[in-house]
Amino acid sequence: MVDVRSGIGEAVPPAEVEDVELYHPHSWWTRYVFSQDAKVIAIQYATTAIAIGMVALVLSWLMRLQLGFPDTFTFIDADRYYQFITMHGMIMVIYLLTALFLGGFGNYLIPLMVGARDMVFPYANMLSYWIYLLAVLVLAASFFAPGGPTGAGWTLYPPQAILSNTPGGRDWGIILMLSSLVIFIIGFTMGGLNYVVTVLQGRARGMTLMRMPLTVWGIITATVMALLAFPALFVACVMMLFDRLLGTSFFMPAIAEMGEQLQYGGGSPILFQHLFWFFGHPEVYIVALPAFGIVSDLISTHARKNIFGYRMMVWAIVVIGALSFVVWAHHMYVSGMNPYFGFFFATTTLIIAVPTAIKVYNWVLTLWRGDIHLTLPMLFALAFIVTFVNGGLTGLFLGNVVVDVPLSDTMFVVAHFHMVMGVAPILVIFGAIYHWYPKVTGRMLNEALGQLHFWITFLGAYAIFFPMHYLGLAGVPRRYHDLGDASFVTDSVHSLNAFISVAALIVGAAQIVFLFNLAWSLRHGREAGGNPWRATTLEWQTPETPPPHGNWGKELPVVYRWAYDYSVPGAPEDFIPQNQPAPGRVTHEAAS
Amino acid sequence: MAVVVILVLLAAGSVLFHLLSPWWWTPIASNWNYIDNTLIITFWITGFVFVAVVLFTAYCVFRFRHRPGNQAAYEPENKRLEGWLAVSTTVGVIAMLAPGLVVWNQFITVPAAATEVEVVGQQWLWSFRLPGADGKLGTSETRDVAPENSLGLNRNDAATLDDVIIEGGELHLPVGKPVKVLLRSVDVLHDFYVPEFRAKMDMVPGMVTYFWFTPTRTGTFEILCAELCGVGHPQMRGTVVVDTEADYQTWLAEQQTFSQLTASSENSPKAVTDVASSAQ
């Protein structure tokens, strides 16, 4: 077996292709608006995602007000409540998390981390963003359409999604939602192909696949998964649009709605669920894998120690990605599908726990004997470990088919997926922004505001979602506008709901501190310099900060080592950049 | 250092919350205490792992926090440790999965002695059907749903005529007898959920789903819909009463059969629709 730091001192392969000639912008419009520069596109993606994400945040406030204090806010009627939860869920999963991780971090970091000047297809990359923006606008338009947005739940299960007793079912809501998803997938495909080709073809000399930072591994694996999973959602959306608009019956059996026979017949609602979750489960990892990758690099950099078990980490990412395509029906244990599927899907689901656990061990073992700097990115990484382990472990309840039966469709599920694919990845996003903001802007984010933001967000989010599991255990179903009187729970359930709502309002408000910090530090932040964290990876070695168009100036970087040469014994500094030629273990060269 | 203290408090607080919180499952009223047991095993294993990881993290932050002159160790891999951790994780996973699959096998294997009960969901009302004197449920079809036949039963099927129909009322079940619950919907997805029975299953228009259980204590329990079925979803409540055998027979004798209902609705055709619309 080769040494993991493989190739230290090996000859660097000769350049196979000439350096690319980039498109150079000629005006303000092509530089900042219709830009083909991946870094600008990244910021456009991130800004749009965060903007629509703020809408989702406000929606979560409104739904928590209703759950915590039913009968108090009369404008949140059942219709609006279901519209709020639906839009909150879809925005967070697709338009915020997927877009921010892949479109935002992917665009910014992939070219810089693999040593490329830009994405391989800059024009398609630009189109990708504008189509994404169109998808967001179509989605947002449904708030203003007759009948309002769809209230079908983010899973959009037919038949109710396109029937009259669901908000937006016979109005514009569901049509705009499905259209927006179709547009999003078209846009994503352009970006996604770009990321894959750039990683496969655009790497700098010496940047072998097994020298790439885990951030790139996480993003690229998630992108490949998204390219394979989104088509299932795409066809499901198109088929449901046909059912809604053309009167086909892909997902619609014979239906007697309020005693009246509808003109549908012969379709299968469960077919939609299979298509949806064939996309939907990989989607969980499309969000999680970039977070896994990024947090690995945050921990390694700020603990001044190589990531423990790099090769195992890479294989775990790839294996999790592959396995996530054969577990989808664990979302459907009580859907009425053939119950014998339960054996298969419970087994595959629990198998995923093994590579996932290995990743957790390797994160904490990276801390072991490290030199831990409690910077903001490290704090967020620690908070990620706690929340991800918590949310991952409750997945073992829900994945284990028979344990899922009492918990399915209860608040336990809501608590679980928020902890594992909401709180945990978002903590990584925050950590990543505190980590890379200095590269993007040249200035550090304010530390005091960051500490305030961190502690409220971390402890507040835990206070929201940890107790929420117990509501589900007590039997409280999810997607109830108003639980009302329920004989199987005590009144204290309502007190807990009120507590959770107060915590949610506070955590939401803390994000204003964060947004303020982003804006304030742009002008007033401390000057960062090119490599404030003393990190090894290529994006910190650019000749200028922020990196200009083309990233590298005249010469492309050449890579001599893996991404994790921290605290190499004998080296003069506790990090050796990837593009530093001297073998790290040979001290006299480095010292001279 | 605040981080260390808070991580330790968080681990301890989570355990204390688990042990002391008043929010726990409602007392069981079915044979599925196997499910509860598997859930408890899972709590123990996952709780142990959670506390171990958080405390280990806290210890690392405490012990290896940056101080001037510190240097991190350089250890890219440790095959033995990685292998050992992978194997022990696999063992833990098997310890949860194995009992889970055994209980799942019980869950989907309906005993031959189970009597059939049909539950029909529609926005936003529960209806029930019992097999009647012949012990067989007649056939049904959503296409046959009409104002005087809201469950869409097949009039030409002899087995249907003696079926006992309960629309918008309470379902009664005898204690101690296994029941196979056949689930049907005539409009959208619903889910038959009684927290005390632990079991639940979606109702899907166009197909018949099922689960089985044995009620183990008498009492009155609330039926909820657990699959979003439109704006009336939270109001879709029903009641199931578990009776002693004698009480059950008394109740059963008072219920109407399909042919009796049809006869009475022919006299006053609005009667059945009134039940349906008043429940909305």
Interface test with B, best of A80, A372, A416 (most B CBs within 10 A): A372
Whether the Cβ atoms of residue A271 and residue A259 lie closer than 8 Å to each other: no
Whether the Cβ atoms of residue B118 and residue A386 lie closer than 8 Å to each other: no
pLDDT of residue A8: 52
pLDDT of residue B148: 85
> Nearest CB to B23: which of A346, A470, A568?
A470
Q: How far apart, in whole angstroms, are the C-alpha atoms of residue A372 and residue A386?
A: 17
Q: Which residues contact A220 (CB under 8 A, 6 or more apart)?
A: A110, A195, A196, A199
> Nearest CB to B77: which of A4, A257, A336?
A4
Q: How far apart, in whole angstroms, are the C-alpha atoms of residue A183 and residue A42?
A: 19
Q: How far is A28 from chain B (nearest CA, A)?
A: 45
Q: Look over chain B and give the mean of its residue pLDDT values, rounded to a whole number.
A: 91
Q: A–B: how many Cβ contacts below 8 A?
A: 328
pLDDT of residue A583: 57
Q: Which of residues 58-97 of B touch A (CB under 8 A)?
A: 60-61, 64-66, 70-78, 81-82, 85-86, 89-90, 93, 96-97
Whether the Cβ atoms of residue B41 and residue B95 lie closer than 8 Å to each other: yes
B78 vs A contacts (CB less than 8 Å): 308-309, 365
A503 vs B contacts (CB less than 8 Å): none
pLDDT of residue A271: 97
Q: Do the Cβ atoms of A166 and B231 come within 8 Å?
A: yes
Q: How far apart, in whole angstroms, are the C-alpha atoms of residue A410 and residue A353?
A: 22
Give me A351's structure tokens: 């198998």
Q: Do the Cβ atoms of A569 and B74 come within 8 Å?
A: yes
B221 vs A contacts (CB less than 8 Å): 487-488
pLDDT of residue A403: 92
pLDDT of residue A199: 96
Q: How far is B141 from chain A (nearest CA, A)?
A: 9
Provide the residue-wise pLDDT of chain A in tens; the chain has 592 residues. 345 554 455 556 777 667 777 778 888 888 889 999 999 999 999 999 999 999 999 999 999 999 999 989 999 999 999 999 999 999 999 999 999 999 999 999 999 999 999 999 999 999 999 999 999 999 999 999 999 999 999 999 999 999 999 999 999 999 999 999 999 999 999 999 999 999 999 999 999 999 999 999 999 999 999 999 999 999 999 999 999 999 999 999 999 999 899 999 999 999 999 999 999 999 999 999 999 999 999 999 999 999 999 999 999 999 999 999 999 999 999 999 999 999 999 999 999 999 999 999 999 999 999 999 999 999 999 999 999 999 999 999 999 999 999 999 999 999 999 999 999 999 999 999 999 999 999 999 999 999 999 999 999 999 999 999 999 999 999 999 999 888 888 888 999 999 999 999 999 999 999 999 999 999 999 999 999 999 999 999 999 999 999 999 888 999 999 999 999 998 889 999 999 986 544 433 333 3
pLDDT digits (tens, 9 = 90+) for B190-218: 999 999 999 999 999 999 999 999 999 99
| Strands B190-193 vs B200-203: parallel, antiparallel or unpaired | antiparallel
Contact B34/A at CB under 8 A:
yes
| Amino acid symbol at A122 | P
Q: How many CB atoms lie within 10 A of CB A278?
A: 20
Interface test with A, best of B36, B48, B66 (most A CBs within 10 A): B66
- Split at pLDDT 50, 70, 90, the class of B273 is very low
pLDDT of residue B267: 64
Q: Do the Cβ atoms of B204 and A78 come within 8 Å?
A: no
pLDDT digits (tens, 9 = 90+) for B142-170: 999 988 888 999 989 889 999 999 988 89
Exposed, middle or buried: residue A77 (CB in 10 Å: 0-12, 13-18, 19+)? Answer: middle
pLDDT digits (tens, 9 = 90+) for A239-278: 999 999 999 999 999 999 998 999 999 999 999 999 999 9
| Amino acid symbol at B160 | T
* Paired residues of B166 in beta bridges: B128
What ipTM was predicted for this assembly?
A: 0.93
Q: How far apart, in whole angstroms, are the C-alpha atoms of residue A204 and residue A76?
A: 55
Q: Quickly tell me which residue has 């169109």 as its tokens.
A: A134
Q: Do the Cβ atoms of A308 and B104 come within 8 Å?
A: no
CA dihedral defined by A145, A151, A154, A159, rounded to 10 degrees? -110
A316 vs B contacts (CB less than 8 Å): none
Whether the Cβ atoms of residue A43 and residue A477 lie closer than 8 Å to each other: no
Phi, psi of A301 (to 5 degrees): -60, -45
Q: Which residues contact A56 (CB under 8 A, 6 or more apart)?
A: A87, A88, A91, A92, A96
Q: How far is B46 from chain A (nearest CA, A)?
A: 6
pLDDT digits (tens, 9 = 90+) for B167-188: 888 999 999 999 999 999 999 9
Is the backbone peptide bond immediately before B124 cis, with ω within 30 degrees of 0? yes
pLDDT of residue B132: 87
Q: How many CB atoms lie within 10 A of CB B278?
A: 9
* Paired residues of B121 in beta bridges: B126, B185
* Nearest chain B alpha carbon to A255: B187
* Paired residues of B222 in beta bridges: B239
Q: Do the Cβ atoms of B230 and A163 come within 8 Å?
A: yes
B121 vs A contacts (CB less than 8 Å): none
Q: How far is A435 from chain B (nearest CA, A)?
A: 18
B32 vs A contacts (CB less than 8 Å): 405-406
Write the DSSP string, A13-40: PPPSSPPP------SHIIIIIS---HHH
> Nearest CB to A488: which of B56, B103, B196?
B196
Q: Quickly tell me which residue has 């200028």 as its tokens.
A: A544
Whether the Cβ atoms of residue A5 and residue A568 lie closer than 8 Å to each other: no
Exposed, middle or buried: residue B211 (CB in 10 Å: 0-12, 13-18, 19+)? Answer: buried
pLDDT digits (tens, 9 = 90+) for A333-356: 999 999 999 999 999 999 999 999
Whether the Cβ atoms of residue A488 and residue B26 lie closer than 8 Å to each other: yes
Task: Using alpha carbons, list the distances in angstroms from residue A442 to A435, A546, A548, B53.
Answer: 12, 6, 12, 36
- Split at pLDDT 50, 70, 90, the class of B274 is very low
Q: Which of residues 46-105 of A touch B (CB under 8 A)?
A: 78-79, 82
Whether the Cβ atoms of residue B204 and residue A470 lie closer than 8 Å to each other: no
> Nearest CB to B123: which of A165, A362, A459?
A165
Q: What is the largest CA-CA distance in chain A?
A: 88
Contact A570/B at CB under 8 A:
no
**3-class DSSP state of A424:** helix
pLDDT digits (tens, 9 = 90+) for B227-236: 999 999 999 9
Give me A580's structure tokens: 């530093």
pLDDT of residue B1: 79
Q: Give the distance, in angstroms, between the CA of residue A359 and the centroid of all CA atoms in the same chain.
A: 17
> Nearest CB to A466: which of B14, B191, B198?
B14
* Nearest chain A alpha carbon to B193: A406
- Split at pLDDT 50, 70, 90, the class of B133 is confident
Write the DSSP string, A343-379: HHHHHHHHHHHHHHHHHHHHHHHHHTT--B---HHHH
